[in-house]
Amino acid sequence: MDRIDRKLLNLMQRDASRTNVDMSEEVGLSPSSCLRRVQRLHKSGVIDRIVAILNPAKTERAIKALVTVELKLHGDQHMRRFLNSAIAEEAVSHAYAVTGEIDVVLMLRLRDMEEFDSLCDRLFRDQDNVARFVTMMIIRTGKEETAIRL
């Protein structure tokens, strides 16, 4: 990956709806060369996918929460079972297995507290392997970045 690839990727991370012609002018390439580079970045897996980033305040899922989970039983099989349950939940936007005292960190996007209560029943209260979970409701977002700085 060279300087031009990084510039293209930074442009696309800020606004992937930009036209190929627009990006080619910005990086100083012909449109066909620019398109070939973007296609190569897709094919190589550097660009995983292109998505629309929604404004949470304009959706039905404006409530955001972080949940830390401590499991009773450890090991790959137990972790995988819990993570599979978590990722099947519509409200779970991010699910991470982590090191330290906590085993899992979940990011939730919720419609309301009723949805949260139901999710807690399914994921935490009715699970034999959940020792403890702590919920932090997000009251203000200082920074939420999707771009990876190159």
Clarify whether residues 60 and 124 are in a common domain: yes
Q: Which pair of tokens denotes residue 106?
A: 């979940």
Confirm whether 147 is domain-assigned: no
Confirm whether 65 is domain-assigned: yes
pLDDT of the residue at 125:
87
Looking up residue 11, the CATH number of its domain turns out to be 1.10.10.10
Clarify whether residues 75 and 14 are in a common domain: no
State the residue range of the domain holding 14. Answer: 3-43
pLDDT of the residue at 56:
83
Looking up residue 90, the CATH number of its domain turns out to be 3.30.70.920
Is 110:65 a contact under the CB 8 Å cutoff?
yes
Confirm whether 60 is domain-assigned: yes
Confirm whether 48 is domain-assigned: no
pLDDT of the residue at 21:
96
Clarify whether residues 18 and 88 are in a common domain: no
Confirm whether 16 is domain-assigned: yes
* pLDDT one digit per residue (tens) for the chain, 150 residues: 999 999 999 999 999 999 999 999 999 999 999 999 999 999 999 999 999 999 888 989 999 999 999 999 988 999 999 999 999 999 999 999 999 999 999 999 999 999 999 999 999 987 889 999 999 999 999 999 989 989
Residue 110 — φ and ψ, nearest 5°?
-115, 150
CA atoms in the 13 A half-sphere facing the CB of 62:
7
Clarify whether residues 26 and 78 are in a common domain: no
Confirm whether 145 is domain-assigned: no
Confirm whether 30 is domain-assigned: yes
pTM, to two decimals? 0.85
Clarify whether residues 15 and 73 are in a common domain: no
Q: Would you give the DSSP letter of residue 147?
A: P
Clarify whether residues 25 and 73 are in a common domain: no
